[in-house]
A and B are shown apart, each in its own frame.
Chain A
Amino acid sequence: MKNWMQFLVLVTSISSAGTLLASGGFGEGGEGGEGRGKQMPTVTNVKWAAECASCHMLYHPGLLPEKSWNKVMAGLDKHFGENASLDAATQAEITRFLALNSADKSDNRRSSRISQSIATNAAPLRITETRYFTAKHDEVSAATFKRKSIGSASNCMACHKGAEKGDFSESQIKIPR
C-alpha cells in the first residue's frame, strides 16, 4: 500500500512541476527597471494567455485592481452569461498572476489612475464600467462602439492595436470604419 502511495505522490508532483515549468512561473514579467512609465509593462503567463483569450482579447492585468480580478476569477462559472470555469489549480494560478500585476500593484501611471477612479467599496467586473474608462472615451459614441468591425467597447483591440500588451498610447489609436 505504502509503495503505491509513494509512487502516486511522486508522479503527481512530477507532472505538476512540469505544468509549473511550462507556465514559465507565475507573476513573472514586467520589464524590470523600467520604472514609472506611462504604458503598462509587458507581462506573460502561459495559462492566462491560453485560458483568458479564447472568447475575447486578453485583458492586461493592469486594467483592474486586485479586488476586481478576485471577483472575476471567483465567478467564472457565471462569467457575463457564459461558463468560463477552470480546474482549481489553473484558476488559482491565474488569480495569483492577475493579482500580482493588477492595477493597484502595477507601478505605471495608467494603472494608478484606473485604481484611483474606483471607489474604495466598489469592485467593478468590467474595465468598461470604470470612471477612468468612461472619461477617456466620452467622445466615442455608442454607435461607433456597435460598428460591426468593433462589436462593443470591450473589444479594445479593434481601436488600440497594442491593447493586449498594455499599450494604449494615443499614437496607436485607430478607429475602424
Chain B
Amino acid sequence: MRKSFVKHSLVALGLLFSTHTFAATPQELLKQYEAQAKQENSAFTGFSSDKGASFFKAEHTHSDGKKVSCSTCHTADPRKQGKTRANKVIEPMVPSVNAQRFTDAAKVEKWFGRNCKDVLERACTAQEKGDYIQYLLSVK
C-alpha cells in the first residue's frame, strides 16, 4: 500500500512541476507529445517534419470567411520575426534562431491552445504538435 502511495505522490509531483515553468528542451517536449500521440492513435508511426511544414502553411477558411494559417502571424519563414494582429513583433519560432522557443512546457501548451483554436477552430492533436516542432527543429 505505502509503496504505491509514494509512487502516486511522485507522479503527482512530476505533474505539478511540469505545469509550472520548469525548463525543458524541444526534444523533451517531443517525447511528451510522442507519448500522448501513441495514446491518441495506436497506429502512430512517428513525427514528420514535412507534415509539420505543410501544417504550418496550410490556410483555413474560417466560419466567418477569413483566411488564416499559422504563418499569418509567424510569417511563411519561421526563421523570421512575425507580427501580431495588434502590430507587435513576434520573435522567430525556430529554436536554432531563437533558443527560448520550446523550453517551457506550460507556455507551449498555452499558445498551442490559443492559436490552434484561432486557426483551426479546434484543438491540435499531439501528432500535429509533434510534426510542427519536428519541422521547426529541421529548419536551420
Residue ranges of A at the interface with B (Cβ–Cβ < 8 Å): 1, 3-4, 7-8, 11-12, 15, 18-19, 53-57, 81-85, 150-152, 154-155
Q: Is B84 an interface residue (CB 8 A)?
A: yes
Task: Report if A4-B86 is in contact (Cβ < 8 Å); known contacts: A15-B20, A83-B118, A84-B114.
Answer: no
Contact status of A56 and B87, CB under 8 A, knowing A1-B5, A8-B9, A85-B114: yes
Looking at chain B's contact residues, is the secondary structure mostly helix, strand, loop, or mixed? helix
Residues of B within 8 Å of A18, CB to CB, are 20
- Evaluate contact between A4 and B8: CB separation under 8 angstroms: yes
Q: How many residues of B contact A (CB 8 A)?
A: 18
Contacts of A151 in B (CB 8 A): 86-87
Question: In terms of DSSP, what is the predominant structure of the interface of chain A?
Answer: loop
Q: How many whole Å from A97's CB to the nearest CB in chain B?
A: 18
- Contact residues of B between 73 and 120, Cβ < 8 Å to A: 84-88, 113-114, 117-118
B43 CB within 8 Å of chain A: no
Q: List residues of chain B with CB within 8 A of the CB of A1.
A: 5
Specify which of B9, B16, B85, B88 is in contact with A82 (CB 8 Å cutoff): B85
Q: Decide if A4 touches B118 in the complex (CB within 8 Å).
A: no
- Picked from A8, A19, A154, the residue with its CB within 8 Å of the CB of B20 is A19
Inter-chain contact B5/A3, CB cutoff 8 Å:
yes
